[in-house]
Structure 1
Amino acid sequence: MQQNPDLPENVVSVSALEGEYNGVRIDVTGFHCIGQVSHQFKHTEETRLSVVLEEIGGRCEPRLRPNRPNPIDHMPRHMHFAPAGLEMWGHTDEVRFVRDATLSFDVERLSATLATVFSQDLISAPRLRFADERLWTLVRLLSEAVGNTDPSTQLYCDGLTTAIAARLFSLSPPLREPDSTGLAPWRLRRVIDYLDARLPERVELGQLAELVGLSPSHFSRAFKASTGMAPYQWQLDARIRRAQAQLLDTDASLDAVAQAAGFADAVHFGRAFRKLTGATPAAWRLDRKS
């Protein structure tokens, strides 16, 4: 196999996925390696968080200089944060496989989108290696959703990136937010009407929040307080309810019902349907039509 000239000589192969949610780009990359590997990280011009999701056969570490070891001891599920303009390198000894996720933040855009003021001290201070179980879990969930074409993925990932930014940058209290635990009835109705009118299309969290004049983070909390569900859960539930009506009222095939509800195919539809109802679409339809 011919070596890719853009890869370090000891990297055998690379797989990559990317996505953008709420103005945050995520690159999920898997490296198959042989021996010792050192390489310069990309996205130097951007504020970024890199999270090690898997490291098999050895350890990897971020460095400020290619030949200067990281002074901070290795720790499980470690990550590093780099402000825009800071060059960093990755180094591994005998690692066979590494999977990581790099989140690149447009800080000004994200601050405006979330209507929130970030801690400038945290934005400008590099963190060479640290661990945060909650943050790691949020990034893992986001990385697992990248590439998923299901329409509800957009709201799900928008919510995750909002939570990641809040955790990473210690957001101050959002601007323009009323003192309320839930959405006012008119706000809730406007959002639900908007979602209903666009089922089963993708909808961004920022669109819903802007519709009722709230920041995405406050909107998410208030929506859940009002409905008991996160926005993406509500949208997925509404898609399943629409599918249930079609299962009862028509003889359409499962593939046709799945497509009408915005699922890639009957397999994905069946999995989501069973998770929410406890039965397969075919069994659910048979039970109610018999």
Structure 2
Amino acid sequence: MIAMQQNPHLPENVVRVSALQGGYSGVRIDVTSFHCVGQVSHKFSHTEETRLSVVLEEIGGQCEPRLRPNRPNPIDHMPRHMHFAPAGLEMWGHTDDVRFVRDATLSFDITKLSDNMATVFSEDVVSAPRLRFADERVWTLVRLLSDALSDTDPSTQLYCDGLTTAIAARLFALPPHSRAEDVTGLAPWRLRRVIDYLDSRLPDRVELGDLAELAGLSSSHFSRAFKASTGMAPYQWQLHARIRQAQAQLLDTDASLDEIAEATGFADAVHFGRTFRKLIGAAPAAWRRELKS
């Protein structure tokens, strides 16, 4: 995750802009907040990239994507709308009176995504613009990804890698996976190799693509097979492993909660305690007292 500087050259009637950026598994995401007064019309960035723009919040009015700055969108406004633009297509954003907008733009590296997911995307899908549409599942996945950008927890990397893979699969309408090997678990040697690698990297960030490569599978196939084998998504496995590591330190050492949190990759004792309670059902200090009494 990268905090971005505010743009000193703002479009007319945009009084403040703030943004965050992150990159996961062939997808870059820019989440931008605009504070506006009056009519705003501006050219969207990332024209050279294949991208999806999702409106997460719009307050005080409505905004719309346009192919020309002075040509209204022919498709009526709808809640939680988004648009898709292939590389090379210029587009503009327009609003008459919106006060605040938060949107997320996902820029896709189609070649890297295709390799990661072991899928050849349909050229018809990738190259066809969609000026305004709604997809509740895509919107929810993008919101979860946007909300996770500022999370420094190491397990966030695997979590966001999984979200971007799911978004791409949904957006590009991949055919359903019906072959038997797609729904079975990992071979024992593959599972052991992946778990050994996860354990060796604790508590650091790990990328989904690295785990898939170790198993010799695409990212999407690996994620399904790993969950079939373990009952957990990769990020959940890593998070549980970090909590197990913390439990060992709680029992075997007199380290403070702050020290254990730092050693197991949590931002602070509060974050550690919240996660521990969620997974174990008790606060770390109470759990330690009970088992040591």
Whether TM-score is above 0.5 comes out as yes
Aligned runs of 1:253-272 on 2, under 5 Å? 253-272=256-275
Aligned runs of 1:79-158 on 2, under 5 Å? 79-158=82-161
Deviation at 1:4, TM superposition (A): 6.0
Deviation at 1:113, TM superposition (A): 1.9
Residue equivalent to 2:43? 40
Deviations 1:206-231 (A, max 9, x none): 11111011111011011101111000
Q: Secondary structure in 1 aligned to 2:150? A: coil
Aligned AA (1:122): V
Going from structure 1 to structure 2, the CA distance change for 1:206 and 1:177 (only over 3 Å counts) comes to: farther
Deviation at 1:177, TM superposition (A): 9.4
Residue equivalent to 1:53? 56
Deviation at 1:187, TM superposition (A): 1.0
Residue equivalent to 1:206? 209
Deviation at 1:5, TM superposition (A): 4.7
Residue equivalent to 1:64? 67
Aligned AA (2:235): Y
CA distance in 1 between partners of 2:42 and 2:142 (Å): 23
Gaps of 5+ in 2: 1-5
CA distance in 1 between partners of 2:277 and 2:204 (Å): 21
CA distance in 1 between partners of 2:24 and 2:180 (Å): 22
Residue equivalent to 2:3? none
Q: Which runs of 4+ in 1 moved over 6 A?
A: none
Q: Secondary structure in 2 aligned to 1:286? A: helix
TM-score (normalised: structure 1): 0.96
Aligned runs of 1:232-251 on 2, under 5 Å? 232-251=235-254
Match among 19, 24, 31 for residue 27 of structure 2: 24
Q: Secondary structure in 1 aligned to 2:19? A: strand
Instruction: Check conservation: 1:177, 1:214, Cα contact below 8 A.
Output: no
Deviations 1:191-219 (A, max 9, x none): 11110111111111011111011111011
Q: Secondary structure in 1 aligned to 2:42? A: strand
Deviation at 1:173, TM superposition (A): 6.5
Q: Tell me the matched-pair count.
A: 287
Q: Secondary structure in 2 aligned to 1:50? A: strand
CA distance in 2 between partners of 1:180 and 1:105 (Å): 27
Q: Secondary structure in 1 aligned to 2:267? A: coil
Going from structure 1 to structure 2, the CA distance change for 1:199 and 1:4 (only over 3 Å counts) comes to: closer
Instruction: Check conservation: 2:63, 2:95, Cα contact below 8 A.
Output: yes
Instruction: Check conservation: 1:117, 1:172, Cα contact below 8 A.
Output: no
Instruction: Check conservation: 1:116, 1:173, Cα contact below 8 A.
Output: no
Q: Secondary structure in 2 aligned to 1:203? A: coil
Q: Secondary structure in 2 aligned to 1:225? A: helix
Deviation at 1:279, TM superposition (A): 1.6
Q: Secondary structure in 2 aligned to 1:48? A: strand
Residue equivalent to 2:168? 165
Q: Secondary structure in 1 aligned to 2:288? A: helix
Q: Does 1:189 align with 2:183?
A: no
